[in-house]
Chains A and B, each alone.
Chain A
């Protein structure tokens, strides 16, 4: 079945450090890929998405590129801020999942001033 594997945290960085959260997937067909962010005590917010190979999603300084050859969708940001502290979920939808989101386990990011 479809699945998402992402690096488990927690990840602790200093402000202005570079961030990479690895995400790889297994899916039938051609999945759509998403990164969601969950701030403490809140619901999930869509951070970015990509629907086909080589697409790059970007938002709020975060980027991720849909790499079909490596089945990856790593999340990157060049300079993190304290306000980026949250849990980040990689997710996919595919024909095999009936359009439903398959989530990774989540990665908690803490950014220290």
Chain B
């Protein structure tokens, strides 16, 4: 299984809602990533988990809260988002957090904040 899955595929939420994005991989990878991608831009790194521990937080606002319950699962909890947070949210994984390891991306969750 060489797939990263993400749910939901689409999400529409109001600014007062709380929602969560889910990412799963069964490749035995020990590094998992969240990216945000705006239209016509490359992905921007948000968070990195390495061996289920938060390794990198790229100064992301606290309204985004990541969680890594186990080595296969990565969540992104959303609360009090702003319309400018509307974007494609991509999850990725790699064997470990090292440069020579390619990252495998999921299909993304397209988030719209009203």
- Stretch from A15-23, A42-50, A64-72 contacting the other chain: A42-50
Option from A43, A45, A46, A99 in Cβ contact (under 8 Å) with B97: A99
Contact (Cβ within 8 A) B56 A43: no
Option from A44, A46, A97 in Cβ contact (under 8 Å) with B99: A97
Q: Is A101 an interface residue (CB 8 A)?
A: yes
Looking at the assembled complex, report how far the CB atom of A44 sits from the nearest CB atom of chain B, in whole angstroms: 4
Option from B42, B48, B55, B103 in Cβ contact (under 8 Å) with A104: B42
Contact (Cβ within 8 A) B106 A94: no
Among B61-108, those with CB < 8 Å from A are 88, 90, 92, 94, 96-108
Option from B43, B55, B96 in Cβ contact (under 8 Å) with A44: B43
Among residues of A, the one whose C-beta sits closest to the C-beta of B9 is: A41
A39 to B107, CA, bound (A): 10
Tally B residues with Cβ within 8 Å of A.
29
Looking at the assembled complex, report how far the CB atom of A110 sits from the nearest CB atom of chain B, in whole angstroms: 14
Among B28-51, those with CB < 8 Å from A are 31, 33, 40-43, 45, 48
A32 to B105, CA, bound (A): 17
Give the interface residue-count category, chain A. 20 to 34
A44 to B103, CA, bound (A): 10
Contact (Cβ within 8 A) B99 A34: no
Query: Interface residues, chain A, CB within 8 Å of chain B?
Result: 31-32, 34, 36, 42-46, 49, 51, 89, 93-95, 97-101, 103-106, 108
User: Beyond the given A93-B101, A95-B99, could you list 12 further A-B residue pairs with CB under 8 A, ordered by the A residue number?
Assistant: A32-B99, A42-B108, A44-B105, A45-B105, A46-B102, A98-B56, A99-B94, A99-B96, A99-B97, A101-B43, A103-B42, A105-B41
Q: What would 9 A/B residue contacts be, using CB atoms closer than 8 Å?
A: A43-B4, A43-B88, A43-B105, A46-B104, A51-B100, A89-B42, A97-B99, A98-B56, A98-B97
